[in-house]
Amino acid sequence: MNNFEYQNPVKLIFGKGSIAKLSENLHKGEKIMMTYGGGSIKKNGVYDQVKKALEGFSVVEFGGIEPNPDYATLMKAVEICRAEGVGFLLAVGGGSVIDGTKFIAAAVDYKGEPWDFVKNPTLPIGETLPIATVLTLPATGSEMNPSAVISRRETREKMAIGNPKLYPVFSILDPQVILSLPKRQKANGLADAFVHVMEQYMTDNISTLVQDRWAEGLLSTLMTVAPNVLEENPDYDACANFMYAATCALNGYIAMGVNEDWATHMMGHELTAIHGLDHGVTLSIVFPGTLEVFRKEKRDKLLSYAINVLKIQSGTKDEKIDAAIEKTEEFFNSLGIKTRLSDYGIGQDTIDEIVSRFTQRGWNLGEHGIATPEKVKEILESRL
């Protein structure tokens, strides 16, 4: 087990009816900017619940944050925050709204062009605005971590930022929000949370027994609840388990003391940046290739996964690993996600562009930098 430090200050407020607890967790006196996305919260009742809880507070609204939140959109919110003297940000939405709001929190007081700190993680970000969230789509874990992913369509870039100052003060998770979600969003959320776990688990074996068993518990939970969650009228408990698992998939609990991968995410971000594919879709395409290309480096964990999560009992070790990779792709397909680049009309030219970008950035990704540009090429070509 590696040495580690961990501190997560987020207050989690979880359960049926919890949006009503919003007002008791906010301080009056600060002007609040309420951020949201394309307006689905106006259809599913969340907007009304939040507005009711915010009665008596000074609120300015900023809607229209798109999936893969765009720098240009977010900079409009930054301008409004500066002009109106906003002192607190309340993100009501999924990972894109929350991530975008984290960027706003860091950009408002930033001297200079905020894209600079997105592109260069070593730049200090100075003062940030406090933020809280009402989560409407389980997927990214952003509600309980200090990270965000920001896109810039102008330059076809998608980059991750992370800073302890960007932990939400509190996050409200009412699993009932899942009941009205379209199947595509639920499928993307399940795939995203699943691969988040894998990025922290499916690396080398360095005797992290608790973390490994916990990662396996999250994977098996997501696989168990997925069929019910995807139904038109899912059970509350299935939704609650999905929502809690997605938060635990990326709040740092399973990352302590382990080596992490994240190469699949980096490749996925490029596919979204270049072709606009849903994030969960990109992960589902890439991840089986990562497993196959690094089956030797990830051998111990592939076997643990095969035996403990997928309950594969028979066959040689290599046959178990073959079956595990196959069943992983089948899981994504069972969510209704197609898992080949060719399913989306993407070919060799995109692979060459991604490899060229990674080469220019000098990126050797994955645990111990094993995912060199050459290996990235091999992974993506295996997914054509």
Q: How far is the CB of 256 from a second copy (least distance, A)?
A: 7
Q: How far is the CB of 35 from a second copy (least distance, A)?
A: 23
Closest among 127, 183, 124, 173 to 15, alpha carbons compared: 173
Q: Which is nearer to a second copy, 1 or 384 (CB)?
A: 1
Binding mask 11-40 for a second copy (x = CB under 8 A): xxxxxxxx----------------------
Based on its alpha-carbon atoms, the radius of gyration of the chain, rounded to whole angstroms, reads: 20
Q: Which is nearer to a second copy, 46 or 193 (CB)?
A: 193
Q: Which is nearer to a second copy, 115 or 242 (CB)?
A: 242
Report the DSSP pairing between strands 157-162 and 147-152.
antiparallel
Q: Is 334 in the site for a second copy (CB under 8 A)?
A: no
Give, as ranges, the residues between 150 and 189 that touch a second copy (CB under 8 A). Answer: 170
| Residues 172, 203: Cα–Cα separation, whole Å | 32
**Tokens 């996305």 map to which residue?**
37
Q: Which is nearer to a second copy, 200 or 208 (CB)?
A: 208
Sheet of 59-62: strand order equals 59-62, 32-35, 88-93, 131-135, 170-173
Q: How far is the CB of 157 from a second copy (least distance, A)?
A: 34
| Residues 70, 96: Cα–Cα separation, whole Å | 9
Q: How far is the CB of 9 from a second copy (least distance, A)?
A: 6
Buried b (16+ CB within 10 A) or exposed e, 304-320: bbbebbbebeeeeeeeb
Question: Is residue 60 within 8 Å of 34, Cβ to Cβ?
Answer: yes
| Residues 119, 134: Cα–Cα separation, whole Å | 28
C-alpha dist (Å) from residue 32 to 19, 55, 150, 162, 286? 16, 12, 22, 23, 39
Q: Which is nearer to a second copy, 15 or 38 (CB)?
A: 15
Q: Which residues pair with 159 in a beta bridge?
A: 150
Binding mask 101-140 for a second copy (x = CB under 8 A): ----------------------------------------
Q: How far is the CB of 87 from a second copy (least distance, A)?
A: 22
Instruction: Tell me how many residues contact a second copy (CB under 8 A).
Output: 42
Closest among 186, 170, 183 to 136, alpha carbons compared: 186
Give, as ranges, the residues between 200 and 259 that touch a second copy (CB under 8 A). Answer: 207-210, 212-214, 216-218, 220-221, 224-225, 237, 240-241, 244-245, 248, 253, 256-257
Q: Which is nearer to a second copy, 240 or 380 (CB)?
A: 240
Q: How far is the CB of 238 from a second copy (least distance, A)?
A: 8
Q: Which is nearer to a second copy, 117 or 170 (CB)?
A: 170
Q: Which is nearer to a second copy, 17 or 345 (CB)?
A: 17
Buried b (16+ CB within 10 A) or exposed e, 108-139: bebeeebbebbeeeeeebeebbbbbbbbbbbb
Q: How far is the CB of 206 from a second copy (least distance, A)?
A: 8
C-alpha dist (Å) from residue 37 to 34, 194, 246? 10, 24, 20
Q: How far is the CB of 214 from a second copy (least distance, A)?
A: 5
Q: How far is the CB of 190 from a second copy (least distance, A)?
A: 14
**Using CB under 8 A as the criterion, which residues of the chain lie in contact with a second copy when the complex forms?**
1-18, 170, 207-210, 212-214, 216-218, 220-221, 224-225, 237, 240-241, 244-245, 248, 253, 256-257
